[in-house]
Structure 1
Amino acid sequence: MTRLFRRAGTALALFFVAPHALAQTAPAPAPAAQVQDADPALWVVKDEDTTIYLFGTIHVLKPGLSWFDEAVKKAFDESAEMVTEIGTMPDQAAIQPLLMKHAISMSGPSLTERLPEEKRAAFTKAVTDAGIPVAAVDRFKPWFAASQLGLVALQKAGYDPNSGVEQKLSEAAKAANKPVSGLETIDQQFGFFNALSEEAQIKFLTESLDQLENVGPEFAKMVAEWSEGDAVGLAAIMNEALRSSPELSKMLLADRNARWAEWIDTRLDTPGVVFVAVGAGHLAGDDSVQAMLAKRKIKTQRIEY
C-alpha cells in the first residue's frame, strides 16, 4: 500500500476533478518561459453513424503548456457535444452541502485524535504551512484533509486548477455553444472517497503527510508522460501503484471505468460526434476504459499525430 499512497496527493489530478473547495493558495510565480508543446494521447471509438473521441486530461497544470491544438483541437471542433467527469462545475453554494455530507465530521473524535500519535505533529505542521486553520481541518474527514494538503502542495509547486485541461475545454465549449454533460456528479465523486474504510482514509492521509515534499516532482513525471502521449509510461507510474490497494484501485479505476464503458456502448446507439474528456489515468493500464470496452468487443483506435 505504501507505493500507492506515496502518490496519493497527485492521484486526484489524474482520476478526479480536484475538490479545491478550500485550497485557494496562489501558484508560485514562474519565470517567463517559451510555450512548450505537448501531444497528449487521443483515441476514437466509431460505428456507422457515431464517433466518440476519448481524451485523457490533467486537472491541474502549470501555465505555458500548449496541448489544445492539432488532432485534439480538430476532434473537439468536430464534436457536437462534450462529456467530462462531472460536466459543468457547480458553484460553491452547491458544493458546500456536499462537503458537509461527505467531507466534514461535526461529531466524534477530531481528525488529530483519529491519527496515530506519532503523526499528529506532522499533521499540525502541514496544515499550518498550508495556511488552513487547524480548527477547521480537525473536522475534516481524512480523505478530504489529504486531498486539500496535496492540492496546496501542487499549487505551491506552480500548478493551477485554472490552467487545467477541463477549465480550458469548458471555456472553449462555452464559446462554441457546445453542450456539456457529465459521467458523474460531484456528489458521487465525494461519495467514492467517503465510502473508503477508516483504515484506508487514515493511511491515505498519513502517507500523504510523509510525501508532501515529493508531490511536485512526482507530478512533474506524470505531466511529462502525459505531454508525450505515453499512456504506457503513465500507467507504469500511476495505475500499477494503485494495485497495491485493492480497495482504492477498485473504487478509483475498475468500477468507474466499467460504468463509463457501458455509457459509451449505449451512446453508440445515438448518431453524432462526442468529445469525452476524463482523467488521464482512466485511459491507461489494464483496467482502462479501453480495456473495459474491449470486453464488450468495442474497438478503440489511437489517433497518431
Structure 2
Amino acid sequence: MKWKYGGWRAVIGAAVLVLLMAAGAWHFWLRTPLTNARPALWHMEKDGREAWLFGTIHAVPSDARWLTPAIKKAIDSSDWLWLEVTGLEDERASLTIFERLGRSAGLPPLPSRLDPAGGKGLRALVTQNAQLASGLDDYESWAAALLINARASAGEGFSSRKAGEAVLTAAFGRAGKPAAGLETIEGQLRFFDRLPEPEQRALLAQAVRDAGASEQLLTELYRDWSQGNMDAIGRLFVAGLGQQPALRSMLVDQRNARWASQIDAIMTRHSAVPFIAVGAGHLAGKDNLRSLLEGRGWRLTRVQ
C-alpha cells in the first residue's frame, strides 16, 4: 500500500476528525487560521508531587506558533513526557499494525456497507477525486473511515509535524528526557476495531459525507484550541456523541477514567515531574480527565 496522503500521523489524526464529525460540529465562519496560539495549560499538585497537563490537537497550520513562554517553561521544568501514545515516527511499524487490524478477507464492497444516500455520496466523492476512496474494499469499515478522513484532510495547509505530539517529542528528545505513552498504537486502533459493525458503518457514512469539509473542521478546531476555549472544544468533541453511546463510552469516557487511574498511580510512586499531553477533547466536557484527576485529590491551576 502506497501512502500519499500525509502518512501515519494523518491516520491517527483522523481518529480525532471522526469524533468531531460524529458530533456534527460544523461552523464555517472562520476562513483564515490564527497563527499565534495560546492553548490551555494547567499545573497539577498533590502531596508534594507536581505535573503539567496540556491538551493537543493533531494538526495545526503550517505557520502556527504555539510554543509560548509558559509552555517552554513547563517543558524545561519537567523530567519526562507522557503522551497518549509514542512511536508514531516509526511509520513502518505503525502501518503494519494498522494493516493487520484494519484489513480482513471477504468483506462486502464498500458501497454495499452504506445506505442509498451514502452510496450516492461515495460515488460523488469518487467522481470528484478517485483517490479518496480507492482500494478500500479490503478494509474494515472503521479503517476505511479513518483512511478517507486522512486522505481528505491532506494538503489543506495543516501539518501534523508542527503539532503537539511531534513538537513535544522533539523538544524532550533534544533535552535527553524520556517519553512514555499512556496507551500503545495497537491499543488505540483496537478501540475502533472493537466497535460493533453498525457503529463502524456510521463512522464510514460520516466520513463520506464530510470528506469535502475537512479544511473547515480543522480551522474551527484550531481556532478554539489556539484561544484555549475549552467550552467550545468540549462542544465540538462531546456534544454530538450522546447520539453515539458506544463511541463515547469506548473512545472518551473509558479512556479518561483509565488515564486518571494511571496518572495518579504512577505519580504516587515517582517524584519526577511529567509533562502530560493528551488530546484536548479529553480535557473538556463531562467526565473529562481534569475533573477525574481533581476527584482523586489533584489541584489543577490553569496557567495559560
| 1:1-305 equivalent positions in 2, closer than 5 A | 12-13=15-16, 36-89=35-88, 91-126=90-125, 129=129, 131=131, 134=134, 136-269=135-268, 270-304=270-304
- Answer yes or no: is the 8 Å Cα contact 1:130–1:149 preserved in 2: no
Distance 1:266 1:236, change over 3 A: same
Q: One-letter code of the match for 1:116? A: D
Distance 1:118 1:192, change over 3 A: same
Q: Which deviates further from its counterpart, 43-52 or 264-273?
A: 43-52
Distance apart, 1:246 and its partner CA? 1.0
- Answer yes or no: is the 8 Å Cα contact 2:238–2:285 preserved in 1: yes
Cα RMSD after superposing both structures: 2.5
Distance 2:138 2:193 in 1: 14
Distance 1:152 1:11, change over 3 A: closer
Distance apart, 1:83 and its partner CA? 0.6
Distance 1:42 1:133 in 2: 38
Distance 2:290 2:188 in 1: 21
Distance 1:218 1:11, change over 3 A: same
Distance 2:14 2:96 in 1: 24
Distance 1:34 1:217 in 2: 10
Question: Once the two structures are aligned, what percentage of the paired residues are identical?
Answer: 31
Gaps of 5+ in 2: 1-11, 20-31
**Aligned-partner SS, 2:260:** helix
- Answer yes or no: is the 8 Å Cα contact 2:33–2:223 preserved in 1: no
**Aligned-partner SS, 1:89:** coil
Distance 2:235 2:132 in 1: 34
Distance 2:34 2:162 in 1: 13
Distance 2:296 2:253 in 1: 15
With the length of structure 1 as denominator, give the TM-score of the two structures.
Answer: 0.83
Distance 1:52 1:276, change over 3 A: same
Q: How many residues get paired?
A: 279
Q: One-letter code of the match for 1:143? A: W
Aligned equivalent of 2:4:
none
Distance 1:34 1:246 in 2: 32
Distance 1:216 1:130 in 2: 19
Distance apart, 1:131 and its partner CA? 2.1
Distance apart, 1:15 and its partner CA? 9.1
With the length of structure 2 as denominator, give the TM-score of the two structures.
Answer: 0.84
Gaps of 5+ in 1: 1-8, 17-32
Distance 2:108 2:251 in 1: 27
Deviations 1:191-221, CA, capped at 9 Å, x for gaps? 0001111111111111221122222212211
Distance 1:36 1:262, change over 3 A: same
